[in-house]
Structure 1
Amino acid sequence: MSTLSTHVLDAVRGAPATGIAVALHGGGPEELDSGVTATDGRIGALGAELVAGTYRLVFDTGAYFAGLRIESFYPEISITFIVTEDRHYHIPLLLSPFAFSTYRGS
């Protein structure tokens, strides 16, 4: 079984993005788990154990930037990924109001 974590950094503020709601979905619309980024911008575990398949993380970036009173373009960011082997998957997100980037971390 595989495990999953995430880490969100706010590139504009140069700091971890605290308080972002994140939902984990499986192949369909059902929500499997959710969490909120801690003061270090991390959620250490989402979904107890993941089997092989397609998953989606949805980050509520609109609420995050609204709370900071910053205009933003993306109300949410959705990252779809595939679990293919038993390992730990880490999905970092580098965030700004008008852009984002991500990669498969370690």
Structure 2
Amino acid sequence: MSATSSDTSTSVSTHILDTSVGRPAAHVGVRLSVRDGDKWVEHGVSTTDADGRCKDFPALPEGTTHVRLLFETEPYFIGRQREQRNQQAEAQQDAPALRDSGAFFPEVTITFAVAPGEHYHVPLLLNPFGYSVYRGS
């Protein structure tokens, strides 16, 4: 699956905003897959930068109609929980009740349809107990 640089190439980018702290979610692993018949094929792997953005996914293969982004949120929440514990000398019972893994949603998977020649920016608004996504610009 090689990327094409023509005007008909289809591309994907994303970013994550942690709405519980009002900051970008840095260092979150994101996997991009494309549907090939009845199976999913991994097409790119990235990690959010300090601004919570992934801009380095390869162009999608010609003929792609469905794309899946898998956000690996559990390690992010575990790290954030660890930071909170280090910053606050409070007892664990005073912290928000999270599952042992640090997140109610250990991963978030978003599947969406694409058309040739379009760019799809798919932001994830994330907090420990919920998320929302939309097609951005």
Name the TM-score, length of structure 1 as normaliser. Answer: 0.92
Q: Distance in 1 between matches of 2:34 and 2:132?
A: 22
- Higher mean alpha-carbon deviation, 89-98 vs 78-87, is at 78-87
- The yes-or-no answer on 1:30 pairing with 2:38 is no
Equivalent position of 2:122 in the other structure = 91
What letter matches 1:38 in structure 2? D
SS of equivalent to 2:131: strand
Gaps of 5+ in 2: 1-8, 82-97
Alignment match of 1:77 (pick from 105, 108, 111): 108
Judging by fraction of residues, say which structure has more helix.
2
Gaps of 5+ in 1: none
Alignment match of 1:62 (pick from 74, 78, 96): 74
Identity %: 42
Equivalent position of 1:103 in the other structure = 134
* Cα RMSD, aligned residues only: 1.3
- The yes-or-no answer on 1:44 pairing with 2:75 is no
The runs of at least 4 consecutive aligned structure 1 residues that moved more than 4 Å come to: none
CA distances 1:28-67 after superposition (whole Å, capped 9, x unpaired): 2321111000000001131333433111000000111011
Q: Distance in 1 between matches of 2:120 and 2:56?
A: 10
Distance 1:101 1:88, change over 3 A: same
- How far does residue 86 in structure 1 lie from its aligned partner after superposition? 1.0
SS of equivalent to 2:76: helix
Name the TM-score, length of structure 2 as normaliser. Answer: 0.72
Q: Distance in 2 between matches of 1:82 and 1:34?
A: 19
Max Rg structure: 2
SS of equivalent to 1:57: strand
Judging by fraction of residues, say which structure has more strand.
1
SS of equivalent to 2:40: coil
